[in-house]
Amino acid sequence: MHSLSQEIKAFSRNNLRKQCTRVTTLTGKKIIETWKDARIHVVEEVQPSEGVGCGYVQDLSLDLQVGVIKPWLLLGSQDAAHDLDVLKKHKVTHILNVAYGVENAFFSEFTYKSISILDLPETNILSYFPECFEFIEQAKMKDGVVLVHCNAGVSRAAAIVIGFLMNSEEISFTSAFALVKNARPSICPNSGFVEQLRTYQESKESNKYDKIPQLESGNSS
């Protein structure tokens, strides 16, 4: 039996099995990390041209969870908007589609409004508020039930619903966000939308305060 000291003396780096780590970045690039001379070496792994790589594990399961914000106001994903059983279950009559590249599925069954919005922080989400809010209000006035959806029902549609609540209920961004988050926990508007919603709150508060002197002036006459 070899002693520990003999094993140490017989040790050779050349006998070690070479190790490497394959990493897929968020952009889909595949790289290989190896150690050499006490340093890490990174090289890009060339992939066969069989389609585009993906920087994340794809979740192919359907997202049919619908957030009930109000009895007449729902929030969901494109999966829910394309499932007739789900739509019938929630008594949907109107569908506001703010996804990009998602077709409407049941024209004979529901009243649709489609607005293609990009889920990018620099997208001016506030510019879409008036026509979105008008459609939601029309559905409510007709005693309908409106589903607001984008692709994932996480960022764009959530921002629209939050903004609608801030406007119609005259509540803060924090309160509106909490209401929507409670109904659909997966929501996560992108950072640009959140900043714009906070600006939207500030503008509404400013307009409210501007009206106070006018009211006081009217009362004194």
By annotation, the residues acting in catalysis are 150
CB 52 within 8 A of CB 40: no
99-137 burial code (b ≥16 CB/10 A, e <16): beebeebeeeebbebebebebeeebebeebbeebbebbe
- Beta strands 111-114 and 67-70 are unpaired
Return the SS3 of 139: helix
DSSP-derived pairing of the beta strands 94-97 and 39-44: unpaired
Q: Which two tokens stand for residue 11?
A: 């040790």
Q: Which helix (H) or strand (E) holds 96?
A: strand 94-97
